[in-house]
A and B are shown apart, each in its own frame.
Chain A
Amino acid sequence: MNIELSREATEYGRQARRALEAAGGDRLVQLAEEEPERREKVVAPVLAGLGAWELNPCGDAGELEAAAALCRSAGYWALPYPVAERLSRPAGLDADGLLVVAAPAPSAPVADLDLRWVAVTVSGERSRAVTLPQTSPPRHSAFVAELELSPVDGDGAADAALGLVLPCWTLLGMLDRAIDLTRAHVTVRTQFGQPLAAFQGVQFQLTDAEVERSGVEMLARYALWSLLASPADALADALALRLAALEAAQTVFRVAHQLHGATGFCDETFLSWLSRYSQPLRRLPLGLSATREQLGRQLGRRGLTGLFSEAR
C-alpha cells in the first residue's frame, strides 16, 4: 500500500475542491435545501466538467484514487449530491450508480434525482432500486429517500466493498472540513482576553479530533489499496474503515460543536450544515452498532489481516 495518494490523484482532488468552490462552495447545499429539484442541474455539470463520469474506479488504481480524492473534495463542501454512489456504479449493469443498503429499511440520500440505481447488500445481493416519493423536506430528511427494490442477482460482493469505501472518503472530506472550521474558529474567537486556542482544554479536544480524523485517512487509503490488491479481504477492510469513520465522526463533530459554542448551531456557521448533512452517511446503510456487528460476522474467527493473522 502507498502511504500517500498518487500525485495525480492529489492534484485532481485539489482541482475538484476548487471547481466546487467556484460553483458555489458552501452555498451549494443551502441552495439545494431551498430547491431540491435543482441540485442535479447545479451540481452535475460541475462534476461532468471534472470528468467524474469518465472515471473507472473498478479497474485501475489511478482512477480509483482519483475517484476517492473527488469524493473527499465533495465532502469538504457537504456537496448535496451522491458523488460516491455514482462513482461506484457497477460494471455490467446498466445503471447510474450503486447504493449499499441494509434490510429491512433500504434507503439512501438520493431523493429528487432522476437517476437509475442498483442497490447491493453487504452480502452481495443486488437489486434495481427506485426511490419512493419524499414525505419531508430536505431540512429534516437530508435528501434520504426510501427505496423499493426488485432483486437482480447475488454477484455484488465486490460492488459492496467499493460502495462502502467511497462514501467513507466523502465522510473523510467532511471531517477535514469540520476540523478546518474548528481550528479557524478557536484561533479567531476570544474569551477571557485570549483566543480559545490558548486554553489547553480546547487544544486537547482539537487534538483528540485530529487523531481520529488522521486515523480514518490512513484506513481509507488502506481500504482503497485492498480493493484492487487483496479482493478477498476487501469487504472486511471496507467495513473496518466504515467502523473507524463512524467512530471518528462522532468525536470530530462533537468536538467541533462544543468548541464552536452556540454559534455552531446557527445556519450562519457552515458547521450547522455540515453536521446535519453528515447524518445520512453516518446512519446509512449501517449505524455504529450494526457496522460493528457486520464486521464481527465478516471476520468470524479469522480476525483482521495484520502481523499475526497467519499465526492462528
Chain B
Amino acid sequence: MGEGATALRGQLRTMVGEHIPADFLGAFTEDPADLEIAQRFCGLLADRGLLCLAWPEEFGGRSASVWEQTVVREEMWAHHEPRGAQYMGINWVGPAIMRHGTPEQQRRHLPPITRGEVIWCQGFSEPDAGSDLASLRTAARPVEADVQPDGEGGTARQAGDGGWLVSGQKIWTSYATMAQWCFLLARTSRGARKQQGLTIFLVPMSRAGIEVRPIRCMIGPHHLNEVFLDEVRVGPADVLGTVDDGWKVVQEVLAFERVGIARYARCERLLQAAPSALGDRWDDLPAELRGRWAGMLVHCRRARLLAYRVLALQSQGRVSPVDTAAYRIAVTKLDQDSAEVLMEMAGLARLAGAGGRRFSRAVQDHWRYAQASTVASGSIEMQRILLARALLAAS
C-alpha cells in the first residue's frame, strides 16, 4: 500500500487510541455521549485534513491515493466507525454532488461535509420498493399542474420550473432522526421503463411536511426510521443532476456505497483480539473452534484482497459491477460467519476480566449488525443475479 498509507494507519490508530474510549461501540447506542464522541472525532479528523482526504483539492480534500482512502475506511470501520453517520457524506453523498451538482450545490454542500458538520440520510427504499427500488411511488408533482391543465397553454415552460410537491413514504432510512439533509429519490414522471422518470432531490430534513418515525429493531437504537413526506415543497435548485434521469446517479451511489464499508477490517480486528481477550481461557476453547477461527482469518484476507482488486480496477476506471458483486458476496458472508465463530468465544471471554467483557459486548454488537449485512445496501441476491448474468454472458 505504500509508506504513506502505513504512516496514515499509524496516525489514525494513535488518534483512535487517544480520543475514542476502549468500550466505544459506535455512535448509535442508548448513550447520547457516544454520538458526541463521534461528532468531536469528525471535527478532529477534519482539522487534520483526514476526513475527506481522498477528495480533490478543489473540493477541500487532499487528492490522496485510493490506498490512503482505503486505510481510513479500514481503520474507521474496524474501530466501530467513530465518524458516526458521517461516513455516508464522505463515501457517496459528496462524490455524487461533485459529479452531478451545480457549482452552487457544490459550494453549499461540500464544505460542511469536509468540516464534519453535517449528517445526510438516504431516502431510497419504500414499503413496496426494496429490491425492486425502481418501482418506488413517492411522487413529485409539478406545482404548475395545479394552475395549468395538461397540454394547454403551449408555453415553453417545463414541468418543475415552478417546483414540485413531494408526497410519499420512505422506510429503513438510516440516521434520519439525526440527519440535517436527505438524498431523496422520487418519481417526477412515468417513462417507458420504470427506471426512467426518477429524480434526486437534496432536501433539508427541517422542511415542512417531513416527519420521521424511528423503527424499533434488533440492530440497535437510532438506526432505522420511516420518513413520511406530505406535500414537501422542492424547487429546481434542489435537483441533483437532470430531472427524470436520477437512476444513473442512484447506480453510482450504490456502487460507491457497496465498497465504502471495509467490513473485513472489523471482522479481522475482533478475530485477532480474541486470543488476548480470552487470556488463559483461549486454551480451553475446543480445538475445532480454534480451527474455525483460523479459517475466518483466511476469509478476512480473501475479502480484503478482493476489495483491493476492486479498488485497483476502480482507480484505473475499469471497475465493473461484477467485480464489486463478487467482493460484496464474499465480505458479507465473512461478516456473518465470523460473527458465529466469535459468538462461541464470547461466553468464555466474559470470565476474562474487564477486557474480556468488553470483547464480549463488541462481539454481540458485531453479530447484530452482521445479520443485516446481506440485506443493507441491496440484498445479496441482486448481486448474485448480476454475477451469474455476467458469468454466463461471458461463456
Do these two chains interact? yes
In this complex, the interface size class of chain A, counting residues with CB under 8 Å from chain B, is 20 to 34
Smallest distance from the beta carbon of B280 to chain A beta carbons, Å?
11
Kindly report which residue of chain A lies nearest to residue B388, judged by CB atoms: A201
Smallest distance from the beta carbon of A251 to chain B beta carbons, Å?
11
Residues of A within 8 Å of B224, CB to CB, are: 262, 265-266
Assuming the contacts A266-B224, A267-B218, A272-B218, asked whether A192 and B343 have C-beta atoms less than 8 A apart, the reply is: no
Interchain residue pairs A-B with the least CB separation, the first 7 = A289-B289, A287-B344, A293-B286, A266-B217, A191-B132, A267-B216, A289-B286
Is A14 interfacial (CB 8 A cutoff)?
no
**Is A258 within 8 A of B380, CB to CB?**
yes
Residues of A within 8 Å of B102, CB to CB, are: none
B contacts, CB < 8 Å to A: 125, 128, 130-132, 135, 171-172, 215-219, 224, 281, 284-289, 292, 336, 340, 343-344, 347-348, 350-351, 364, 371-372, 374-376, 379-381, 384-385
**Is A261 within 8 A of B130, CB to CB?**
yes
Is A288 interfacial (CB 8 A cutoff)?
yes
Is A182 interfacial (CB 8 A cutoff)?
no
In angstroms, Cα B373 to Cα A258, docked, is 10
Is A18 interfacial (CB 8 A cutoff)?
no
**Is B379 within 8 A of A258, CB to CB?**
yes
In angstroms, Cα B375 to Cα A265, docked, is 10
Residue pairs across A and B with Cβ atoms less than 8 A apart, 19 shown, are: A140-B364, A191-B130, A191-B131, A191-B132, A192-B132, A193-B132, A201-B385, A202-B381, A258-B379, A258-B380, A261-B375, A265-B217, A265-B219, A266-B218, A267-B218, A283-B347, A284-B347, A289-B344, A292-B286
Is A7 interfacial (CB 8 A cutoff)?
no
> Which of B218, B292, B364 meets A289, CB within 8 Å?
B292
Residues of A within 8 Å of B351, CB to CB, are: 104-105
In angstroms, Cα B374 to Cα A202, docked, is 14
Assuming the contacts A258-B379, A266-B216, asked whether A192 and B131 have C-beta atoms less than 8 A apart, the reply is: yes
Residues of A within 8 Å of B135, CB to CB, are: 191-192
**Is A250 within 8 A of B340, CB to CB?**
yes
> Which of B125, B132, B340, B380 meets A262, CB within 8 Å?
B125
Is A254 interfacial (CB 8 A cutoff)?
yes
A-B pair count, CB < 8 Å, reads: 93
Assuming the contacts A190-B128, A265-B371, A287-B347, asked whether A275 and B218 have C-beta atoms less than 8 A apart, the reply is: yes
Apart from A258-B380, A262-B376, 4 more pairs, CB < 8 Å: A258-B375, A268-B215, A287-B343, A287-B344
In angstroms, Cα B221 to Cα A267, docked, is 12
Smallest distance from the beta carbon of A79 to chain B beta carbons, Å?
19
Is A276 interfacial (CB 8 A cutoff)?
yes
**Is A289 within 8 A of B288, CB to CB?**
yes
Residues of B within 8 Å of A192, CB to CB, are: 131-132, 135
Smallest distance from the beta carbon of A174 to chain B beta carbons, Å?
15
**Is B287 within 8 A of A293, CB to CB?**
yes
Complex interface bits, A112-140 against B, C-beta within 8 A gives 1, otherwise 0: 00000000000000000000000000001
> Which of A262, A289, A290 meets B375, CB within 8 Å?
A262
Complex interface bits, A248-276 against B, C-beta within 8 A gives 1, otherwise 0: 00100010011001100111100010011
Residues of B within 8 Å of A267, CB to CB, are: 215-218
**Is B381 within 8 A of A262, CB to CB?**
no
Kindly report which residue of chain B lies nearest to residue A140, judged by CB atoms: B364
